[in-house]
Amino acid sequence: MARIVECIPNFSEGRDAQKVQQILDVISAVPGVKLLDHSMNADHNRSVVTFIGEPEKVLEAAFSACSKAAELINMEQHHGEHPRIGATDVIPFVPISEVTMADCVEMAKKLGERIGTELQIPVYLYEEAATRPERRDLAYIRKGQYEALKAELGEKPEREPDFGPAHMHPSAGATVVGARMPLVAFNINLGTSDISIAKRIAKLIRARDGGYMFVKAMGVNLDERHIAQVSINMINFRKTSLYRVFETVKMEAERYGVPVVGSEIIGLVPMDALIDVAEYYLRIENFDRAQILESRLTVE
């Protein structure tokens, strides 16, 4: 396993499968990089790609992909429903295993510098890599999208990029690079069809209404099963752990005499998020992740 970083670049091409394939090809061509997933959305005219590997290799693949996208995608002709400012719109690095957030911030800066210098594309750092507090927020950087940024870059000081020229790349626009924690989609099913209970519990556990700092949640109906669900995005499972949220939902549901009947994890989850849960419930003392057999494997 060794040191692993996940990268989830978003490209402003969601209609031409051949072009997307060319981008995927340059990513796969980097030895040691593993492509996990990709999705194209024609309405958004955007693709989202997921790959993992050791930091140096992931950085290399991200740069190659960005370079290829700059060659293939012309922002002057791009239309789609999703906000965007460039051919490679955003590149987040996510620490998965034996890599710190500081390492990912470092990667973001290195990649930003290369994109700015070698490709002459203006780069903004966001989230954990942001150099100004307001730039932690991707929406702030993308305000007005490609068209507004093109007009304001070089004019307004708040638009000054972290790397690269103070003007748009003629076809590839600008790119946002950064670092963030992995997101875990964790849904908890209640033994009731009353969605109002799921909504009340969602409110109690989410950050913006006074709940846990790294939890986003809402109440939804599972129509087929006639039950309500608390649908949760865990945005930092290390600081707000899955078991804490699970036990809190159970505790709040008890007030209504409603049991928790199950849960589900949608998509990918880092192993550590589940090992935390086992450690908590088994009350394991002094456990070292190096004791996990699989953690001894290095990707060569």
Nearest to 213 by CA among 253, 244, 190: 244
Pairwise CA distance, residues 101 & 28, whole Å: 24
End-to-end CA distance of the chain: give it in Å, rounded. 9
Compute φ and ψ for 89, nearest 5 degrees: -80, -45
**Does residue 284 bind its own copies (CB under 8 A)?**
yes
**Does residue 55 bind its own copies (CB under 8 A)?**
no
DSSP label of 79: -
Pairwise CA distance, residues 251 & 246, whole Å: 9
Q: Which is nearer to its own copies, 121 or 273 (CB)?
A: 273
**Does residue 300 bind its own copies (CB under 8 A)?**
yes
Shortest spacing between CB 266 and its own copies, in angstroms: 8
- Interface with its own copies (CB under 8 A), residue from 77, 79, 224, 293: 293
CB atoms within 10 A of CB 114: 20
In the annotation, is 82 catalytic? yes
Give the total of residues touching its own copies (CB under 8 A). Answer: 48
Q: Which is nearer to its own copies, 148 or 268 (CB)?
A: 268
Q: Which is nearer to its own copies, 8 or 107 (CB)?
A: 8
Pairwise CA distance, residues 144 & 139, whole Å: 9
- Interface with its own copies (CB under 8 A), residue from 67, 189, 192, 229: 189
DSSP label of 131: S
Tokens of 270: 């880092």
As beta bridge partners, residue 229 has: 189, 220
Please state the length of the chain. 300
**Does residue 140 bind its own copies (CB under 8 A)?**
no
Q: Of the residues 38, 44, 79, 82, which is catalytic?
A: 82
Shortest spacing between CB 188 and its own copies, in angstroms: 8
Pairwise CA distance, residues 237 & 111, whole Å: 26
Site for its own copies in 86-105 (CB under 8 A): 96-97
**Does residue 220 bind its own copies (CB under 8 A)?**
no
- Interface with its own copies (CB under 8 A), residue from 19, 246, 253, 258: 246
Contact residues toward its own copies (CB under 8 A) are 1, 4, 6, 31-32, 34, 36, 52, 96-97, 182, 189, 242-243, 246, 260-265, 267-271, 274-275, 277-279, 281-287, 291-300
Report, as residue numbers or ranges, the catalytic residues. Answer: 82
